[in-house]
């Protein structure tokens, strides 16, 4: 394992930010830490990269014990923080060169590499412009480029697509996938469930400073494989409708998602016509009926108990998967 984390603990005053987190990341793996805001994702990254002091537990990176000397493995890692924190006064190109210099790259090598990255990230035209004048998406791309200029063996990506437009977020996800294919080990934190599902080999659900489940995406999705899900939007009370549907169709599960929507699950294909006809006989108008592909979100909600609506709210912020 290239990253080994055991019983990681951290407390800020009265708040127990991490309460015994354990996980491993294999070489070349894209490992995701998925959780809502405040779950402890950034704290985990800060502890692993030496930006914060361990409150307890042990960390090994590429075989180096970082428990007592957090800077010991910094030459092997790249970090993309959750905020674009490059230097506003420097141009995009100079920012990359400076970041390369921080890792001891010789001048010629870092200039070539910076030019290469500006090209890859589609920022060549803005290479000479000051970072302060970049758009949010451009800033994010350059921050990722700065994190990989020294070709790190392990990349820590903290919320790479938060707060940026959909097109830029999509491009960044593509870049992350390319990096993974090139053999870089990546530890990604996100609160976008679909992002984690699309990108990660394995995912850990982090809630309130604890990992509640870690597995491959395929294994996590196992319980919903072969399940059929339909969402109905009704005019009346979904709770009343659910009650009536349950008595009529006992082989299916129904529950109200909000004031308008009902979620229907079954092992058998769901015949929409049957449900619609039944509800209309009950004087409940069905405005919309659509089949839904079971997603990791269903598992996340099941395992963590965090309401789908709460995660949806996060997802609706700019940058959420499209």
Among 12, 237, 280, 317, binds other proteins (CB under 8 A): 12
In the bound state with other proteins, the residue whose beta carbon lies nearer, of 100 and 320, is 100
Size of the site for other proteins (CB under 8 A): 30
Judged on CB neighbours under 10 Å (0-12, 13-18, 19+), 24 is middle
Q: Is 1 in the site for other proteins (CB under 8 A)?
A: no
Distance (Å, rounded) from C-alpha 187 to C-alpha 207? 17
Assess 79 for contact with other proteins (CB under 8 A).
yes
DSSP H helices, the chain, are 41-49, 92-102, 107-120, 136-148, 166-181, 193-199, 217-221, 238-248, 272-281, 296-304, 308-315
Tell me if 17 contacts other proteins by CB under 8 A: no
Binding other proteins (rule: CB under 8 A), the pick from 50, 137, 160, 238 is 50
104 binds other proteins (CB under 8 A): yes
- For residue 65, state whether it binds other proteins (rule: CB under 8 A): no
Kindly indicate which of the ranges 101-109, 170-178, 219-227, 254-262 contains the residues binding other proteins, using the contact rule CB under 8 A: 101-109
Closest CA to 80 of 139, 154, 151, 155: 155
Residue for token pair 């090994």: 60
49 touches other proteins (CB under 8 A):
yes
Instruction: Please state, in angstroms and rounded to a whole number, the distance separating the CA atoms of residues 130 and 90.
Output: 5
69 contributes a contact to other proteins by CB under 8 A: no
Contacting positions for other proteins (CB under 8 A):
12, 49-53, 70-71, 74-75, 77, 79, 81, 83, 85-90, 94, 98-99, 101-106, 146
């Amino acid at each position: 394992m290239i990253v080994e984390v055991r019983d990681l603990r951290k407390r800020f005053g009265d708040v127990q930010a991490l309460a015994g987190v354990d996980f491993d990341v294999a070489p070349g793996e894209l490992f995701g830490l998925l959780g809502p805001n405040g779950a402890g994702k950034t704290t985990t990254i800060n502890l692993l990269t030496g930006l914060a002091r361990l409150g307890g537990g042990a960390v090994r990176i590429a075989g180096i014990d970082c428990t007592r000397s957090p800077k010991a493995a910094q030459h092997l890692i790249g970090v993309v923080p959750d905020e674009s924190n490059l230097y506003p006064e420097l141009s995009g190109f100079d920012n990359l060169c400076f970041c390369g210099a921080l890792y001891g790259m010789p001048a010629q090598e870092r200039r070539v590499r910076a030019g290469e990255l500006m090209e890859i990230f589609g920022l060549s035209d803005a290479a000479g412009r000051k970072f302060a004048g970049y758009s949010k998406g451009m800033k994010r791309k350059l921050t990722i480029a700065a994190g990989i200029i020294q070709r790190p063996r392990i990349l820590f990506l903290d919320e790479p697509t938060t707060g940026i437009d959909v097109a830029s977020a999509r491009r960044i996800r593509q870049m992350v996938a390319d990096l993974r294919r090139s053999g870089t080990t990546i530890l990604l934190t996100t609160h976008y469930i679909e992002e984690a599902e699309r990108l990660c080999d394995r995912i850990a659900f982090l809630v309130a400073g604890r990992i509640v489940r870690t597995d491959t995406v395929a294994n996590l999705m196992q319980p919903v494989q072969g399940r059929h899900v339909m969402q109905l939007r009704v005019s009346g009370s979904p709770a009343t409708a659910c009650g009536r549907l349950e008595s009529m169709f006992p082989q299916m599960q129904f529950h109200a998602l909000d004031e308008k929507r009902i979620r229907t699950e079954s092992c058998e294909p769901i015949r929409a016509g049957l449900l619609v006809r039944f509800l209309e006989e009950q004087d409940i108008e069905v405005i919309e009926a659509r089949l839904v592909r079971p997603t990791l979100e269903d598992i996340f909600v099941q395992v963590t108990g965090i309401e789908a609506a709460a995660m949806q709210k996060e997802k609706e912020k700019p940058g959420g998967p499209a």
